Amino acid sequence: MAGILKRFVRLRTASAGLAVLTAVLCLTILTLFLSPNGRGEVNLERSLRPPSLGHPFGTDPFGRDVFYRVFQGARLSLGVSFLARSISLLLGLVLGAAAGYFGGRLDSLLMRLADVTFAFPALLLLIAIMAVVSPGFVSLFVALGVVGWASVARLVRAQVLAAREREYVQAAKASGAGSTGVILRHILPQCLSPVLVIYTLGLGMTVMAEASLSFLGLGVQPPDPSWGRMISDGIGFMRTAPWLTFFPGLVLTLTVCAFNMVGDGLREALDPLSDRSRSRVTGGGDGFVGRDRVQGG
Amino acid sequence: MTYAMFKYTLKRILILIPVLWGVVTITFIIMYVVPGDPVLVLAGERYDEKTLVEMRRDLGLDKPLHMQYLDYLGRVVRLDLGRSFVTRRPVAASIAERFPKTLVLAASAMVLAVVIGVSIGGLAVYNRFAWLGNSLMTLSLIGVSIPVFWLGLLLINIFSVRLSLLPPSGYGGGSLAHLLLPALTLSFASMATVARVTRSGFIDAAGEDFIRTARAKGMGEIVIIGKHAFRNALIPVITIVGTDFGSYLSGSVLTESIFGWPGLGRLIVQSIMKRDFPVIQGAVLFMAVVFVVVNLLVDLCYGIIDPRVRVGSGRK
């Protein structure tokens, strides 16, 4: 564990990602408790002020501080994403493990279902679902969670298939352990690291999907701020107050980027083999003429 | 077409059938749970009980669920996607009118991603452009992390509002000036990734035996790169552009609404606002089918470019 942590910290991009996430998280938590000068409140006297020291991201047409609202919105974006990914994870773990362990009809049924889920471009499926259910926090994260189950399930299934034939699993079975026990105690712990990676990488995608949905007006309804909605609300002010669209998008991009960086970092830290493939791809100045390169796998 | 290729193609097409059936079923289920009575939406403000009953019968909504499902399957097979609640136009006709515009946008984005991406990736191979090669990783990370709707707004802000170089939105009869910004927005995510894999594809190819053979035969560097290394680097590029095609389709929903591009994505967004469910259902179903078919074509392309795929049972 310590080795993994050390390897993770040594990856510069991953640490940078973690730093960004920590900062976003801290600011988000701060907005829960603090609202200096009623920053989140409507105050038409300070409507549409450009960015300044007092209001680093400027103010919106209602005089609300954009910086404050961005991190108020982070509460929603991050909360929805964590919950949604947890639903995907739970569904994917249970269904993927069942498919891989029991095989047969159940396996082919579940995997065809995964194929069908993959047959939709994810955002389109989400749009279709959110267009018909009544929009809100719960329907949002359930929809995001359900759409994300298939990739987790496929991964877990593949891991379980590989683990199923191992000797210690066979031994556990032979000594009379039940299926649930074998899956929970002997097989799933083996799948944890790739699952952790896919969970984190998925967080970035989920934050993005949530923002896209609320940009289209299919997310959480006002007055709750969300990044996508703040951007779409700011479009009308693009000439006069470009900060209304710029800063929420910037924080959104940074957050998604950070999740991807941390996910990539975790993958490398948990799987020392991928270290080599990375240095092979990005390894500095080996030009086209460098023929003495070591051939990878 | 060789026998192996034929068998591979046939197998891939057969796998498609249950997937498409599933896609149709899911769109049916989603639209079946629409809250409220669709007939009430249709009837508008002036209705009496008798017309409602008639409309329900006309739409087949009084039948049991399984009959409605079978009806729906039958209609989809005949390419009848119902009529819009709002305009009463057949949904299929609206799709046929809008889709070519989305296709133009997606195809332009694809071309931009490949042309710019491969050029950058090809340049980055040379030591002189090592800085470029090193920043590709970061660039592609940003490329996949930047929300397409925000990027679109940034580009509008720079090129239309500040510099007044390009029109901010609209179709403009499909003119290049109107196409450029939305296509660039849509292509951005794949562009940097294409550059990255092109570079590593070229570098990998440099170590391959067939390149050494080509060199030993005395072929010129340009021919080696252009003919042999390029082909090797092309496979991952096709993978990326192919798998990204779905994101071009979903991304077109966002890009089109920002740039006012009158394609299928914009139709979906407009229909959501009007709660025009048959149009949403038909358009989403259609896009999913296009997505599935494109994925199939990409898979078949591998078979043509890389003979090794044909022999095996396909990708895992």
Q: How far apart are the C-alpha atoms of A125 and A143, rounded to whole Å?
A: 9
Minimum mean pLDDT range among A55-69, A123-137, A247-261? A55-69
Which of A217, A238, A253 lies at the smallest CB-CB distance from B146? A253
Query: Tell me: the pLDDT tens digits for B16-42?
Result: 888 889 889 988 888 877 766 666 666
Query: Tell me: the pLDDT tens digits for B289-311?
Result: 888 888 888 778 776 766 665 55
Cross-chain Cβ contact A286/B249 below 8 Å: no
Residues near A146 by Cβ (< 8 Å), separated by ≥ 6?
A87, A88, A91, A129
- Amino acid sitting at position A278: R
Distances (CA, A) of B247 to A66, A121, A258, B252: 30, 7, 21, 8
pLDDT band, residue A136 (cuts 50/70/90): confident
Nearest residue to A282 (alpha-carbon basis) of A292, A269, A270, A296: A296
Minimum mean pLDDT range among A3-7, A90-94, A140-144? A3-7
Is the Cβ of A26 closer than 8 Å to some Cβ of chain B?
no
* Length of chain A (residues): 297
Query: Tell me: the pLDDT tens digits for B112-138?
Result: 988 998 888 888 777 677 777 778 778
Which residues on adjacent β-strands are paired with residue A59? A65
Measured in angstroms, the CA of B170 and the nearest CA of chain A are apart by 16
Distances (CA, A) of A104 to A99, A100, A110, B165: 8, 9, 10, 60
User: Running DSSP on this structure, what letter comes out for residue B272?
Assistant: H
Measured in angstroms, the CA of A211 and the nearest CA of chain B are apart by 8
CB contacts of A256 in chain B (<8 Å) are 145-147
Q: How far apart are the C-alpha atoms of B237 and B305, rounded to whole Å?
A: 12
Measured in angstroms, the CA of B104 and the nearest CA of chain A are apart by 18
pLDDT band, residue A288 (cuts 50/70/90): very low
pLDDT over 70 for what percent of chain A?
Answer: 89
pLDDT band, residue A268 (cuts 50/70/90): confident
The ranges of chain B with pLDDT < 50 are 313-316
pLDDT band, residue A91 (cuts 50/70/90): very high
Query: Tell me: the pLDDT tens digits for A207-240?
Result: 999 999 999 888 887 777 889 888 988 888 888 8
What ipTM was estimated for this complex? 0.82
Mutate to test the interface with A, among B137, B250, B285, B295 (most CBs of A within 10 A): B250
CB contacts of B212 in chain A (<8 Å) are 291
Is the Cβ of B293 closer than 8 Å to some Cβ of chain A?
no
Identify whether the C-beta of residue A179 lies closer than 8 Å to the C-beta of residue A116.
no
Is the Cβ of A211 closer than 8 Å to some Cβ of chain B?
yes
pLDDT of residue B131: 76
Q: How far apart are the C-alpha atoms of A54 and B62, rounded to whole Å?
A: 62
- Give the A:B interface size as CB pairs under 8 Å: 171
Which of B23, B125, B142 lies at the smallest CB-CB distance from A120? B23
Nearest residue to A197 (alpha-carbon basis) of A6, A3, A14: A14
Is the Cβ of A77 closer than 8 Å to some Cβ of chain B?
no
The mean pLDDT of A128-132, rounded to a whole number, is: 86
Give the mean pLDDT of chain A.
Answer: 80
Q: How far apart are the C-alpha atoms of A249 and A147, rounded to whole Å?
A: 24
Q: Which residue has the tokens 């299934």?
A: A157
Measured in angstroms, the CA of A154 and the nearest CA of chain B are apart by 12
Greater model confidence, A215 or A267: A215
Q: How far apart are the C-alpha atoms of B181 and B119, rounded to whole Å?
A: 20
pLDDT band, residue A278 (cuts 50/70/90): very low
Which of A119, A121, A232 lies at the smallest CB-CB distance from B19? A119
3-state secondary structure B33-74: CCCCCHHHHHHCCCCCHHHHHHHHHHHCCCCCHHHHHHHHHH
Which residues on adjacent β-strands are paired with residue B83? B90
Cross-chain Cβ contact B19/A218 below 8 Å: no
Specify the 3-state DSSP secondary structure of B107.
helix
Which residues on adjacent β-strands are paired with residue A114? none
Is the Cβ of B230 closer than 8 Å to some Cβ of chain A?
no
Q: Which of residues 17-36 of B touch A (CB under 8 A)?
A: 18-20, 22-23, 25-27, 30-31, 33-35
Identify whether the C-beta of residue A171 lies closer than 8 Å to the C-beta of residue A219.
no
The mean pLDDT of A154-176, rounded to a whole number, is: 83
Specify the 3-state DSSP secondary structure of A65.
strand
Is the Cβ of B130 closer than 8 Å to some Cβ of chain A?
yes
pLDDT of residue A83: 93
Q: How far apart are the C-alpha atoms of A28 and A255, rounded to whole Å?
A: 12
DSSP codes, B139-194: HHHHHHHS-HHHHHHHHIIIIIIIS--S-SS--GGG-HHHHHHHHHHHHHHHHHHH
Measured in angstroms, the CA of B34 and the nearest CA of chain A are apart by 5
Greater model confidence, A166 or A283: A166
Distances (CA, A) of A122 to B71, B106, B155: 27, 17, 25
Q: Which of residues 245-264 of B touch A (CB under 8 A)?
A: 246-247, 249-251, 253-254, 257-258
CB contacts of B20 in chain A (<8 Å) are 119
**Burial (Cβ within 10 Å: 0-12, 13-18, ≥19) of residue B207:** middle
Q: How far apart are the C-alpha atoms of B266 and B101, rounded to whole Å?
A: 10
